[in-house]
Structure 1
Amino acid sequence: MSNRVVTAHIPNELAEQVDQLAARLDRPKGWIIRQALTSWVELEAKRHQLTLDGLADVDVGRVIDHASVAAWAKSLDQPV
């Protein structure tokens, strides 16, 4: 796999946290940032897929009306 350098301006406090993590884990800062960025990209891909799945449900009518959800939420306050 080839690599490419990506530059980003980040707040000093975040940069210091990366420095501290790198020192504590005895890893290069680049490794810390690559791990974090990989996790975030994977999370965003999952969120996007869940959004598409939800929209597909709406398209085929798999929805619950607002009144039903409101009634269910209100029932949560009731003693069992």
Structure 2
Amino acid sequence: MNSRVVTAHIPVDLAEQVDLLSTRLDRPKGWIVRQALTSWVALEAKRHQLTLEGLADVDAGRVVDHASVAAWAESLDHSG
């Protein structure tokens, strides 16, 4: 697999947490950072896709007006 070095300045407390994880998991710090970035990039891609789907729903008129949502919220049993 091809790879590339990426440099980032991170807060000391975050770096220390990565150090602790590296020790606890017996994994290199680079592995931990790669796992974290992979998860975050996947999450952001999913969030972007959901935003596009939501915008497509708005464009297609698949929306619920505020008054309907407010009426629904008021109908909920708040007594617990």
**1:52 corresponds to which residue?**
52
* TM-score, normalised by the number of residues in structure 2: 0.94
Q: 1-side partners of 2:26 and 2:78: how far apart?
A: 53
* Whole-angstrom distance in 1 between the partners of 2:4 and 2:58: 40
Deviation (angstroms), 1:63? 0.3
Q: CA deviation at 1:74?
A: 1.3
Distance 1:59 1:26, change over 3 A: same
Q: Residue deviations 1:7-49, cap 9 Å, x none?
A: 0000000000000000000000000000000000000000000
Q: Which runs of 4+ in 1 moved over 2 A?
A: none
Partner of 1:2: 2
Instruction: Report the Cα distance in structure 1 between the residues aligned to 2:49 and 2:30, rounded to whole angstroms.
Output: 28
TM-score between the two structures when normalised by the length of structure 1: 0.94
List runs of 5+ in structure 1 lacking aligned partners.
none
Tell me how far apart the structure 2 counterparts of residues 29 and 2 of structure 1 sit (CA, whole Å). 18
Q: Distance in 2 between matches of 1:35 and 1:27?
A: 11
Q: Which residue of 1 aligns with 2:37?
A: 37
Q: Which consecutive unaligned segments of at least 5 residues does structure 2 have?
A: none
Percentage identity across paired residues of the two chains: 81
For the aligned residue pairs, the C-alpha RMSD in angstroms reads 1.0
1:11 corresponds to 2:15:
no
Residue identity opposite 1:40 in structure 2: W
Change beyond 3 A, Cα 1:23–1:77: same
